[in-house]
Chain A
């Protein structure tokens, strides 16, 4: 049990293992557990439906040509449609396909986790929860005020790409999504955003970490992955996504951000 005293109330963090990573849902004690249970049930349902590791998932069946898109569930069709949109809007840097052994396979993982957390947030709101944080492997949707007496948003650290136990920046988010991709371990692999490796070799020698902040985690997560893969830092197509901001950690140890984050960044003297 993780209890953090916040004056009149207590925050609880519930953790489950979903989609190959740890998901934490933090809520205060003004709400019952039902909303959290429903949110986790939803996440497990998404895992079963979209997993590329389960041969009986809808995605695996579509990939093998055993299930027509027209016969797929509305959720699957909605996600694949959004994947196609994101692929177009990012000039192909986001993709819902991966190459394995020379064959192309359907893999919408880059959107699924973030999108599923967006929906889980909706489930919490419908249960009456106004202050919460959902963290799926380092990608986050939050709302409300963790310290009611202070009325501030969530103090959100952005993992430092080179120092495992430091953060590169701190953002205070009252409401919204934050996703981070980076080369924390291996130069050609992305750890984090989608919990999967990129389907292509990501060059990006100049970028160590890409964080995207915006209203929806599905889009933020997909954009973080795509911006990292593209490698220039601030590709022109990023501006096709109003409401989304970028925070970059460059390989030469600089922090860079779009002006929309000016008021969210906690500056230290």
Chain B
């Protein structure tokens, strides 16, 4: 699972970098970025799912892996406000983000600001334990069709539903950016 997870996180960071880059130059019009790919495509490298960035085109991107979170549920305790730009630019250097606990372990990133630009995001900590504990205690409503759930993997155009790691990443990254702007 861990091997799988890393490309996903890489894609997330690639997406964030593109987003942040846009934020710093809103008049540039270059809004094209790596959409966080399908969260659940589960596809191996070589996927044809849209949302996959060609390897190496984005700093921090990890080759392969069509699995990137497709959205954010926001952080549970703090709410980054991406709409506001800092009055002054960030100071060059490296900054550690906050360690964000998820059910699957801590997430922590480190960013590098160079020339006032976010140039790199490193994953200092990623969840290593991907075990899920699942309660088995419910029934679906009587008029619904139903069948046993299976994890599907397929070539997808899009994915509905938020992902955990995206939220934690956003939170840790925001903390690092806040530190850079102090």
Which of A2, A20, A268 is in CB contact (< 8 Å) with B35?
Answer: A2
Determine whether B92 belongs to the interface, using a CB cutoff of 8 Å to chain A: no
Cα distance, A146 to B49, chains bound together (Å): 11
Determine whether A170 belongs to the interface, using a CB cutoff of 8 Å to chain B: yes
CB B44 to nearest CB in A, in angstroms, measures: 11
B contact residues vs A (CB 8 Å cutoff): 4-5, 8, 15, 18-20, 22-23, 29, 31-36, 38-42, 48, 50-53, 57, 67, 70-74, 76, 79-83, 102-104, 130, 132, 134-141, 143-167
Are B132's CB and A162's CB within 8 A? yes
CB A171 to nearest CB in B, in angstroms, measures: 8
Query: Interface segment, A59-67, A74-82, A99-107, A184-192?
Result: A184-192
CB A105 to nearest CB in B, in angstroms, measures: 14
Are A167's CB and B158's CB within 8 A? no
Which of B41, B141, B143 is in CB contact (< 8 Å) with A157?
Answer: B41
Are B72's CB and A180's CB within 8 A? no
Are A157's CB and B156's CB within 8 A? yes
Determine whether A125 belongs to the interface, using a CB cutoff of 8 Å to chain B: no
A20-B82, A167-B40, A184-B162 as given contacts; A206 in contact with B139, CB under 8 Å:
yes
> Main SS of the interface on chain B?
loop
Are B83's CB and A192's CB within 8 A? no
Are A154's CB and B158's CB within 8 A? yes
Determine whether A12 belongs to the interface, using a CB cutoff of 8 Å to chain B: yes
A-B contact pairs, 29 of them (CB 8 A): A2-B34, A2-B35, A2-B51, A13-B35, A15-B18, A17-B19, A21-B74, A47-B83, A135-B35, A137-B162, A138-B162, A146-B157, A155-B158, A156-B157, A157-B158, A159-B39, A164-B8, A165-B67, A167-B152, A180-B161, A185-B73, A185-B164, A205-B138, A206-B139, A234-B140, A250-B146, A251-B134, A256-B144, A257-B145
Determine whether A37 belongs to the interface, using a CB cutoff of 8 Å to chain B: yes
Question: Which residues of B lie under 8 Å from residue A21 when comparing CB positions?
Answer: 71-74
Cα distance, A235 to B103, chains bound together (Å): 30
Question: Which residues of B lie under 8 Å from residue A191 when comparing CB positions?
Answer: 73-74, 162, 164, 167
Determine whether A214 belongs to the interface, using a CB cutoff of 8 Å to chain B: no
Cα distance, A106 to B80, chains bound together (Å): 20
Question: Which residues of A lie under 8 Å from residue B103 when comparing CB positions?
Answer: 185-186
Question: Which residues of A lie under 8 Å from residue B140 when comparing CB positions?
Answer: 233-234, 248, 250, 254, 256
Are B31's CB and A14's CB within 8 A? yes
Cα distance, A165 to B150, chains bound together (Å): 13
A13-B51, A15-B33 as given contacts; A262 in contact with B145, CB under 8 Å:
yes
Which of A48, A156, A192, A234 is in CB contact (< 8 Å) with B141?
Answer: A234
Cα distance, A197 to B138, chains bound together (Å): 23
Are B163's CB and A164's CB within 8 A? yes
A138-B161, A164-B130 as given contacts; A13 in contact with B50, CB under 8 Å:
yes
Are A166's CB and B19's CB within 8 A? no
A2-B53, A211-B160 as given contacts; A22 in contact with B72, CB under 8 Å:
yes
Question: Which residues of B lie under 8 Å from residue A163 when comparing CB positions?
Answer: 40, 42, 132, 151
Question: Which residues of A lie under 8 Å from residue B141 when comparing CB positions?
Answer: 232-234, 248, 256
Determine whether A209 belongs to the interface, using a CB cutoff of 8 Å to chain B: yes
Cα distance, A54 to B162, chains bound together (Å): 24
